[in-house]
Structure 1
């Protein structure tokens, strides 16, 4: 009896030691839209917002489409690589498992998604922010069953959280008259609506363990090729840019308010508006040849919206600010990532990380355009 009791005590002690010594790696959980999507929408069979056609991914890995809405890496990819955080796997990736989550984190970003549930409805399938939070709840359930509540709490509280949403709430909602929000609100009341919703979402994430959280602001979205080509002059649409600036100002204040209100919260706002705007104003100063049209285009047919197999590419993708009508190129994403790292003072986290895809090597374009 005494021997049996001793064995039980030894087993309990060893087991407890194993739990206590669990290596709580710092990973990243990403909530976002097409600027951060790394494959979720490509697995939504009914979605109209997919990066599944050539020439998406031409400068990444094997050069085949991988779900990223650019020629290479996303801003989140680059920030993670430069700060020692492994690249999170897409939530819908078939490889997703408890071990993968514990080692790499999860990316819930979805092309066409927004802060609001109604945003991007024309795309049929996409994950809104509330849906992404629901998916994160499922991930938490998986991890708690794997390592227990106490270690799970440590894991989720040490993780980094990125929220990069908002552009679709304007471009694919408020600025389109087919959406009720476009006539229900004015500029100021709509931004109030977005802040109220985003504040509630970030508070939910705090309740789920998010302590280190970064919300990325909007760039000069009135200058994306799609907005330019829809204007009569071909110039940036200043109303759209003004909305981006108002959104950024309101979001910055929200981050300060939540950091002061929520226990142990370090909620930061990352603003890269100025650096992108500077490139648009003087591309050559920053090594770009073009800052107003897409590298991947369908000849004179504009807007083509996405790259298609018949699209022609620019001669040097590293010289174009925009990859398609909506999204920045890999080179632009690296510039944005560097600006955010500098402004937010990112530290280097893990001593080692997963093997990242290298920067593009300026592969030749498949056309002589």
Structure 2
């Protein structure tokens, strides 16, 4: 895939935070009552289990304590203790939670009723991003799988109706951090029948615990955050240009940097006591990179902005999702859908294992 010509040349030096949340506008097609569903593309910020079906992948969330505050409290493929931002936004909009594409039970009826999640931990825009994870679904692969999904639906309801089905889609983009942290890249935004697109920008990735612990001061890495801001400015301009150049499209860019930065910079305002350290850590060993059964959990997970070195906690995701819903004026689309099949957060956020003596000490560096 290639970028349109005459784009800002600095874009190839920037990294992106993409999760693609595709909202299909409902209609009745050849007797099928097509509810509004989601197609999600992204990385570990939105993976709901695809990597669990990749046998050689080193990027998996299949160990305790991942998923501890979600449903039955067991690992479910999400790289956090609870819900992702897309889970929460989708629930608020009345959208069904789409299953992982790699789920062996996925079929056409499931796709038309629930959508699909293609997100893969370690994946990125560049094919080489996350190569040290051995196996993951890069963005090109996710798009390839989406094409296959379109072909599958075309066989189910016919090409003409399938084309209408996808041309009526609304697309919201907000994909993970791997390219940003590990590679520079050229984002690719031109999708199969995309007419209505919302792109979420990068957050302050220089403030995640991993970036802080790798700095000499323990503070946010300003250089990394400046790259994120630069990317957001350039992408905003590009999206505006695409909106004027491509006929019949409505493309919008949603800069989420300030929302996330405010949560990190002013945690007490949002009910947090710690915004610079992971809730799940391996004693004094930093960075621990992942959460494992032998890790120590903070006493109260609801007070931590970050779950591990990379990923926000369920509580932080809830705050971020709420602010994005308010900022972009999202409204409920499936009024009669109670999301009865969507697991709720587990009832307790108190650690089941012993925590260190200063696990919940107030901390709000920025």
Name the TM tier (shorter chain).
Answer: 0.7 to 0.9
Instruction: Give, in angstroms, the shift of residue 161 of structure 1.
Output: 2.6
The counterpart of 1:112, out of the listed 122, 125, 129, is: 122
Query: Which whole-Å CA distance do the structure 2 matches of 1:169 and 1:307 have between them?
Result: 21
In the TM superposition, what are the counterparts of 1:218-367 in structure 2 within 5 Å? 218-353=202-337, 354=339, 355-367=341-353
Alignment counterpart, residue 52 of structure 2, candidates 42, 45, 59: 42
> Which range is displaced more, 242-251 or 211-220?
211-220
- The 3-state SS of whatever aligns with 2:199 is strand
Which structure has the larger Rg over C-alpha atoms?
A: 1
Separation (CA, whole Å) in 2 of partners of 1:69 and 1:152: 33
Shift of the alpha carbon at 1:21?
4.6
**Residue segments in structure 1 that go unaligned for 5+ positions in a row:** 1-17, 175-192
How far has the Cα of 1:125 moved from its partner? Answer: 0.9
Q: What is aligned with 1:187?
A: none
Kept in 2, the 8 Å contact 1:58–1:72? The answer is: yes
Alignment of 1:1-369 (within 5 A): 20-165=30-175, 167-174=177-184, 194=186, 197-198=187-188, 202-203=189-190, 205=191, 208-353=192-337, 354=339, 355-369=341-355
Question: What is the distance in 2 between the residues matched to 1:38 and 1:318?
Answer: 21
* CA 159–25 in structure 1, closer or farther in 2 if over 3 Å, else same: farther
> Secondary structure at 2:277's aligned position in 1?
strand
RMSD after superposition: 1.6
Alpha-carbon distance between aligned partners in 2 of 1:360 and 1:62, rounded to the nearest angstrom? 7
Give the alignment's TM-score, normalised by structure 2. Answer: 0.85
Whether the 8 Å contact between 2:274 and 2:303 is mirrored in structure 1 is yes
Query: CA distance change for structure 1 residues 150 and 351 in 2, over 3 Å: closer, same or farther?
Result: farther
Q: Deviations over 1:137-192 (max 9, x none)?
A: 11111100001112212222333333323521121224xxxxxxxxxxxxxxxxxx
Q: CA deviation at 1:215?
A: 1.9
In 2: Cα distance, 1:305 partner to 1:58 partner = 18
Structure 1 residue 23 displacement after superposition? 2.0
- Displacement of 1:49 after TM fit? 1.1
| Residue 45 of structure 1, CA deviation | 1.1
The higher relative CO (CA closer than 8 Å, separation ≥ 6) is in: 2
Q: Distance in 1 between matches of 2:64 and 2:93?
A: 30
Q: Distance in 2 between matches of 1:80 and 1:19?
A: 23
Q: Residue in 1 aligned with 2:24?
A: none
Deviation at 1:72, TM superposition (A): 0.4
TM-score for both structures, normalised by structure 1: 0.84
